C-alpha cells in the first residue's frame, strides 16, 4: 500500500467518523451578522419555563410561492431551536386544505383568516388559499399566532422580511401568554368624563384577552382618599382615556403616587376641546382650551401639551354629502387637515412595523429638560401649521388649495414615552392627602398621547366597530395595534416585546437589474464552463509534454 493511498484511507475514515459523531451531537455556529439563527436570552427564559407538553401546529405546508416557503423554513428553524432548548415543545406542519372544507371553515371561525395568492399552474393563473398561522396547544387551551406581519411595504418580499423579523417575538409571546395567568391588572379610570365603554369597546375586548380589566373611579378620593390610593396600587397599569372634566389636587395626587410607587400610567388627553359631532351636523364648531388641571403634573415629569391645534397636510379625509340621487346620498372624500396621520417610531417596539395612526384635533407636545428618559412615539409630517385657541373651525376651507407657506411649523410630537426616575408633581408642596407613605421620586413609566380620540372606536347601529376603522372612508388605521403595543410595553416584565426590535436582513435579487443583465449572465454561464474546461485541458496537455518530452 503506497503512502498516497494510506492518506486517502485516513481521510475517508475521518469523514466517516465525523459523520457518525455528528448524529449524536446537535450543535451549530451562527456566523450571521444579525445572529438570525440564535435565540435571544428572553426567548430562552420563556421556553425554559414550559413544564408540560406543548404542541405548535403550523399551517404553512403545501404548494405555494417561494417567499412563503422561506417563511415556512424560518418558522421550522425557530421551532427546532425551541425544541432543542426544551423537548416539551413539539411542532408539526400540516396542510389544512388536505383536511377538507370543514376543517378550513373551523380555522376561519377561530379568526385565522387565509391569504389569497395568485399562482401559475400549468400555464394558468389560479387562486391559492394559504393560512400563514400557527396554533399553540397545551392541554385544552390553544392560542392562534399570526406568522404574516401586516407591513405596508412595496413588495411581498419586504413583507416576508418583516414577518421573519417578527417571527421570534410572535411565537415567544404566544408561548408566554399560554403559560402566564392573567394576573396583571389594568385599571380603566372613570369619574372625570372619560370615554364610555361603548366607544372603547374594541380596545377593551382586545386587551382583555391578555390582562384583567376593571373600571376604577376616582370619585371615592373625596371620602376615602387613602383607601382609594391603596386600591389603585393593586393594579399594574392605569389608563385615562379622554377625560373632559377637571382633576382636583387629591385625584392628581393619587395618580402621581401611583406612579411614584411603580405603577404604570397611560394618559390619552385632549388639551383642546373641539366637538366633531357638532362640526358634522352644523358645519362648524369652536375649539377651546380644555383645562384638565394636569399641566403642572406633566411639567414635573418633563413634558408640556400646548393649548394649540395642529393642521397637517398628511391627514385623513373627511367624507361629506355633496348631493342626492333618488334616495341615495352622494358622498365624497375631502382632505381634512385637522385629522393628522401620525407616524409611529419604527425604531421602538411600540411602533415597529406599523402604518399611520389617525388622530383628531390633536395638540403638539413640548419636551422639557430633566433627568427622565423620553422617547418620542408619534410624530406628524414636516408640513404642519399650529392654530391657537379659541378659534372657529368650519368646513369653508374644504375644497380650497392649501397655502403651503403657512405649513412651515415642522414635525410635531404627538406621543411620548417617559421612563426611569420620575419626579413627583407634589415634590416640596403641601400634600392634599395624608397617606403616611408619600414618595418624592419613583422609578416608573408612562405614555402620554395628546389626543384622546386615538382610542375611540366608531359605532354603527349601536355596535362598536374595529378600533382604527373609519366607516365613512372604509380605511383602517393602526390605532389599535399601536395602543396594544403600548400597553404590552408598559406591562412587560420579561422583555418579550423587545424581540420586536430584532432585525433580519434577507438578500433579495434586484428584479430590474436581473432583467437588464439577463443576456449577459446567460452567455456567461454558458461560455465560462467551456473556457475553464478548455484551459484545464491545455494546462494538462502542456504538463504532459513537459514531463514526458
User: SS3 string of 444-489?
Assistant: EEEEEECCHHHHCCCEECCEECCCCEECCCCEECCHHHHHHHHHHH
**Residue 522 within any structural domain of the chain:** no
Looking at the structure, tell me whether residues 41 and 153 fall in a common domain: yes
What DSSP letter does each residue of 390-406 carry, written as one string?
A: SEEEEGGGTTSPP-GGG
Looking at the structure, tell me whether residues 201 and 85 fall in a common domain: no
Looking at the structure, tell me whether residues 194 and 309 fall in a common domain: yes
**Residue 527 within any structural domain of the chain:** no
The pLDDT value given to residue 31: 46
In 149-243, at which residue ranges do the beta strands (DSSP E only) sit? 185-190, 212-217, 237-241
3-state SS, residue 547? helix
C-alpha angle 542/544/546, rounded to 5°? 70
**Residue 535 within any structural domain of the chain:** no
Report whether 384 contacts 338 (CB < 8 A): no
**Residue 513 within any structural domain of the chain:** no
Which CATH number covers residue 461? 3.40.50
The pLDDT value given to residue 430: 86
Question: Which stretches of the chain drop beneath a pLDDT of 50?
Answer: 31
Report whether 383 contacts 334 (CB < 8 A): no
* The model's pTM: 0.80
Given 145, 179, 213, which residue is the final one in a domain? 179
The pLDDT value given to residue 252: 94
**Residue 339 within any structural domain of the chain:** yes
Break the chain down into helix, strand, coil percent, rounded to 5: 35, 30, 35
Given 130, 146, 179, which residue is the final one in a domain? 179
The string of pLDDT tens digits covering residues 356-378 is 999 999 999 999 998 899 999 99
Give residue 78's domain range.
33-179
Looking at the structure, tell me whether residues 162 and 300 fall in a common domain: no
The pLDDT value given to residue 209: 83
The pLDDT value given to residue 545: 77
Report whether 471 contacts 244 (CB < 8 A): no
Torsion of CA 28, 29, 30, 32, to 10 degrees: -130
**Residue 512 within any structural domain of the chain:** no
Instruction: Say which residues have a Cβ less than 8 Å from residue 402's Cβ, sequence separation at least 6.
Output: 313, 337
First to last CA, the chain: 29
Backbone angles phi, psi at 314, to 5 degrees: -95, 95
The pLDDT value given to residue 163: 85
Amino acid at each position: 500500500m503506497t503512502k498516497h493511498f494510506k492518506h486517502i484511507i485516513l481521510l475517508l475514515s475521518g469523514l466517516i467518523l465525523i459523520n457518525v459523531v455528528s448524529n449524536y451531537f446537535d450543535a451549530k455556529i451562527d456566523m450571521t451578522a444579525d445572529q438570525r439563527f440564535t435565540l435571544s436570552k428572553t426567548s430562552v427564559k420563556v421556553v425554559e419555563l414550559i413544564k408540560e407538553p406543548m404542541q405548535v401546529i403550523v399551517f404553512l405546508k403545501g404548494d405555494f410561492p417561494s417567499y412563503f416557503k422561506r417563511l415556512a423554513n424560518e418558522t421550522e428553524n425557530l421551532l427546532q431551536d425551541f425544541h432543542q432548548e426544551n423537548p416539551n415543545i413539539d411542532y408539526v406542519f400540516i396542510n389544512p386544505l388536505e383536511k377538507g372544507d370543514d376543517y378550513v371553515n373551523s380555522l376561519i371561525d377561530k379568526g385565522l383568516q387565509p391569504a389569497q395568492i395568485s399562482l401559475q399552474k400549468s400555464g394558468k393563473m389560479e387562486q391559492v388559499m394559504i393560512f400563514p398561522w400557527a396554533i399553540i396547544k397545551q392541554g385544552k387551551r390553544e392560542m392562534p399566532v399570526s406568522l404574516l406581519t401586516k407591513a405596508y411595504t412595496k413588495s411581498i418580499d419586504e413583507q416576508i422580511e418583516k414577518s421573519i423579523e417578527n417571527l421570534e417575538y410572535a411565537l415567544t409571546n404566544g408561548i408566554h401568554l399560554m403559560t402566564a395567568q392573567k394576573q396583571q391588572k389594568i385599571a380603566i379610570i372613570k369619574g372625570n368624563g372619560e370615554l364610555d365603554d361603548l366607544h372603547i369597546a374594541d380596545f377593551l375586548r382586545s386587551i382583555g384577552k391578555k390582562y384583567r380589566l376593571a373600571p376604577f373611579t376616582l370619585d371615592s378620593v373625596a371620602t376615602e382618599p387613602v383607601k382609594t390610593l391603596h386600591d389603585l396600587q393593586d393594579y399594574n397599569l392605569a389608563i385615562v382615556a379622554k377625560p373632559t372634566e377637571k382633576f382636583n389636587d387629591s385625584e392628581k395626587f393619587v395618580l402621581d403616587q401611583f406612579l411614584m410607587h411603580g405603577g404604570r400610567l397611560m394618559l390619552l388627553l385632549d388639551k383642546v376641546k373641539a366637538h366633531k359631532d357638532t362640526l358634522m351636523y352644523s358645519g362648524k364648531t369652536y375649539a377651546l382650551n380644555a383645562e384638565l388641571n394636569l399641566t403642572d403634573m406633566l411639567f414635573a415629569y418633563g413634558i408640556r401639551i400646548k393649548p394649540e391645534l395642529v393642521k397637517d397636510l398628511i391627514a385623513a379625509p373627511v367624507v361629506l354629502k355633496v348631493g342626492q340621487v333618488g334616495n341615495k346620498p352622494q358622498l365624497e372624500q375631502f382632505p381634512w387637515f385637522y385629522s393628522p396621520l401620525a407616524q409611529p417610531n419604527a425604531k421602538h417596539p411600540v411602533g415597529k412595523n406599523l402604518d399611520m395612526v389617525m388622530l383628531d384635533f390633536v395638540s403638539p407636545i413640548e419636551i422639557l429638560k430633566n433627568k427622565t428618559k423620553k422617547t418620542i412615539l408619534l410624530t406628524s409630517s414636516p408640513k404642519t401649521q399650529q392654530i391657537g385657541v379659541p378659534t372657529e373651525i368650519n368646513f369653508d376651507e374644504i375644497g380650497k388649495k392649501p397655502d403651503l407657506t403657512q405649513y412651515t411649523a415642522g414635525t410635531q410630537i404627538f406621543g411620548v414615552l417617559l421612563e426611569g426616575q420620575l419626579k413627583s408633581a407634589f415634590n416640596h408642596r403641601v400634600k392634599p392627602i395624608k397617606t403616611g407613605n408619600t414618595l418624592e421620586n419613583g422609578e416608573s413609566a408612562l405614555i402620554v398621547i395628546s389626543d384622546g380620540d386615538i382610542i375611540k372606536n366608531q359605532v354603527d347601529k349601536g355596535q362598536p366597530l374595529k378600533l382604527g376603522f373609519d366607516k365613512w372612508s372604509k380605511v383602517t388605521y393602526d390605532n389599535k395595534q399601536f395602543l396594544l403595543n403600548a400597553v404590552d410595553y408598559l406591562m412587560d416584565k420579561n422583555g418579550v416585546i423587545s424581540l420586536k426590535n430584532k432585525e433580519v436582513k434577507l438578500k433579495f435579487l434586484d428584479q430590474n437589474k436581473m432583467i437588464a443583465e439577463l443576456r449577459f449572465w446567460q452567455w456567461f454561464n454558458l461560455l465560462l464552463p467551456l473556457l475553464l474546461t478548455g484551459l484545464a485541458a491545455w494546462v494538462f496537455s502542456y504538463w504532459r509534454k513537459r514531463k514526458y518530452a
